[in-house]
Amino acid sequence: MSSNDHVDPARLFATRDLTEALAAPLSPEDQTVQSMPDVSPTKWHRAHTTWFFETFLLQPEVPRYRPVDDRYAYLFNSYYEALGDRHPRVARGMVSRPGAAEVGEYRAAVDASLEQLVGGGVPERLHDIVELGIQHEQQHQELLLMDAQHVLSGHPVAAPYAATTRPSTGDQPPELTWRFHEGGVHCVGHEGDAFGFDNEFPRHEALVTPFEIAERLVTCGEWQSFVDDGGYERPELWMSDGWAAVCSQGWAAPLYWIDRGAGPAVFGLSGDRPMVPDEPVSHVSWFEADAFARWAGARLPTEFEWELAAPAEPPPGASLDTAVLGPRAASGSADPQQWYGELWQWTESAYRPYPGFRPANGAIGEYNGKFMVNQQVLRGSSFGTPDGHARRSYRNFYPPSGRWMFSGVRLARDAVR
């Protein structure tokens, strides 16, 4: 993780404030529920990101710092083994205390200490850890949203997170076109001095075969065709483990496609909406993305194909906007689009360390490295990714069966000439 020019107090406290703003539409009860082991309650996210600053910044840097509550280290450590015992992840929904308001007090107390420590400016030697704290909290902002959607989806009655508007769209997405890339040996991984997570390093050469990549994401309408063509009923389209998931979980459509009797609809952060054919399909697992691609006569891109083809920077506005909590349809243009700010894009690549990867020393070294097996890489970013968090070399990762993240599909194929 490299240093960053923008490590200033304003950005730190804006990040802290955004978390509270994202939690605000959720009641204390909403903030308490854990709807499955992978999901964390909202108030846990709020407390955990606070514990992170307390543990990695305040405790080492503030002389005689007293934790706000000695018991929080046990409750709000996520997975850092080096920091001692912690409350089991699967039981986060069992803990009603501290409540949402007490967590707010915890946040305020830690913010006050942060203000004292770095409010006048972040000293150079703390740039890395403050930046990491910001980036970490941004990750949890997206997690907070996708976890909240899952919690609310479990209600027998429609339960929106917030009313949002989205630009109306027609039903015809632009025709799917392909962009050619000649491949070759190219540098991949994090470049430059800006912040990056350990898993984006070291920058290194990779050999890529010529390929073509889709100019836009797969749409709901295309996915409907897959469903209609027996996509969820034909084992030959699926990885063996994926087919087992289809059978045991009863998958027959993306996670949040529902039919409450009023036609095909999709449950989202703004509640139920009619399914819009030209919007990108979301909340599909890697298994589904992989099967869809096979059905379509294509495949998923590798993570390096994606990286070589993607724009160097997210375009302005391609990030979290609480007024638009869902992916937007592609424009009519065939220009490459939807790389950032709509949906994370599954890749063909297993999540493994780059050649020469070295985790950081100490507890922070557990940040990414220990998850590098049995996961697939996603690239890009989503409508839930906060401004300033996405970059071309960013490696997101989830198990191939995961469906509750803001995931979508961009196709690729071998270049034939």
Distance in angstroms (rounded) separating the CA atoms of residues 103 and 140: 15
Using only C-alpha atoms, the chain has a radius of gyration, in whole angstroms, of: 21
- Using CB atoms within 10 A of its CB, is residue 173 exposed (0-12), middle (13-18) or buried (19+)? buried
* DSSP E strand boundaries for 55-182: 178-181
| Given 125, 236, 248, 262, the residue binding its own copies (CB under 8 A) | 236
- Stretch in the footprint of its own copies (CB under 8 A) among 2-10, 56-64, 95-103, 214-222: 95-103
Q: 136-165: which residues touch its own copies (CB under 8 A)? A: 151-152, 154-157, 159
Name beta bridge partners: 397: 377
Q: Are strands 396-398 and 271-274 parallel, antiparallel or unpaired?
A: unpaired
Supply the minimum distance, in Å, between the C-beta of residue 113 and its own copies: 22
- Stretch in the footprint of its own copies (CB under 8 A) among 189-197, 322-330, 372-380, 382-390: 372-380
Name beta bridge partners: 413: 212
- Stretch in the footprint of its own copies (CB under 8 A) among 12-20, 28-36, 44-52, 189-197: 28-36
Which one, 279 or 290, has the nearer CB to its own copies? 290
Kindly state the tokens that stand for 238: 């699926």
Supply the minimum distance, in Å, between the C-beta of residue 55 and its own copies: 17
Supply the minimum distance, in Å, between the C-beta of residue 365 and its own copies: 8
3-state secondary structure of 206: strand
Q: Does 258 help bind its own copies (rule: CB under 8 A)?
A: no
Supply the minimum distance, in Å, between the C-beta of residue 6 and its own copies: 31
> Quick one: which of 283, 292, 286 has its CA closest to 153?
283
Token pair 């890339």: residue: 181
Q: 53-92: which residues touch its own copies (CB under 8 A)? A: 71, 74-75, 79, 81-82, 87, 91
CA distances for 144 relative to 102, 140, 225, 354, angstroms: 18, 6, 32, 29
Report residue 274: phi and psi, to 5°: -60, 145
Alpha-carbon dihedral angle through residues 231, 236, 242, 248, given to the nearest 10 degrees: 80
Q: Does 172 help bind its own copies (rule: CB under 8 A)?
A: no
Supply the minimum distance, in Å, between the C-beta of residue 413 and its own copies: 11
Which one, 166 or 403, has the nearer CB to its own copies? 403
- Stretch in the footprint of its own copies (CB under 8 A) among 25-33, 118-126, 137-145, 324-332: 25-33
Supply the minimum distance, in Å, between the C-beta of residue 318 and its own copies: 29
Total binding residues toward its own copies, as defined by CB under 8 A: 65
**For residue 212, what are the contacts with CB-CB under 8 A and spacing of at least 6?**
178, 179, 180, 181, 412, 413, 414, 415
Supply the minimum distance, in Å, between the C-beta of residue 94 and its own copies: 5
Which one, 74 or 180, has the nearer CB to its own copies? 74
Check if the beta carbon of residue 65 is closer than 8 Å to that of residue 141: no
* DSSP E strand boundaries for 33-144: none
- Stretch in the footprint of its own copies (CB under 8 A) among 113-121, 191-199, 283-291, 325-333: 283-291
Residues found near its own copies in the complex (CB under 8 A): 27-33, 35, 43, 71, 74-75, 79, 81-82, 87, 91, 93-97, 99-100, 151-152, 154-157, 159, 185, 204-207, 209, 235-236, 238-243, 286-287, 290, 348-350, 352-353, 355-356, 365-366, 370-374, 376, 400, 414
